[in-house]
C-alpha cells in the first residue's frame, strides 16, 4: 500500500482539485511544505 496525504493529490493536468478543508487550505499546506525552514 502507498499512503499519500490527500492535500498532495493533484489533478491530471497539475491543477489543484477538491480538498475537504477547502482549496485555500490545500494551497497553504503545499506552500508550507515547499518553503525552506
Active-site annotation, residues: 6
Residues 6+ away with beta carbon under 8 Å from 20 = 6
Q: How far apart are CA 29 and CA 8, in angstroms?
A: 9
Alpha helices in the chain (DSSP H): 23-34
Amino acid at each position: 500500500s502507498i499512503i499519500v496525504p490527500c492535500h498532495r493529490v493533484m489533478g491530471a493536468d497539475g491543477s489543484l482539485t477538491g480538498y475537504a478543508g477547502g482549496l485555500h487550505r490545500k494551497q497553504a499546506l503545499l506552500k508550507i511544505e515547499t518553503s525552506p525552514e
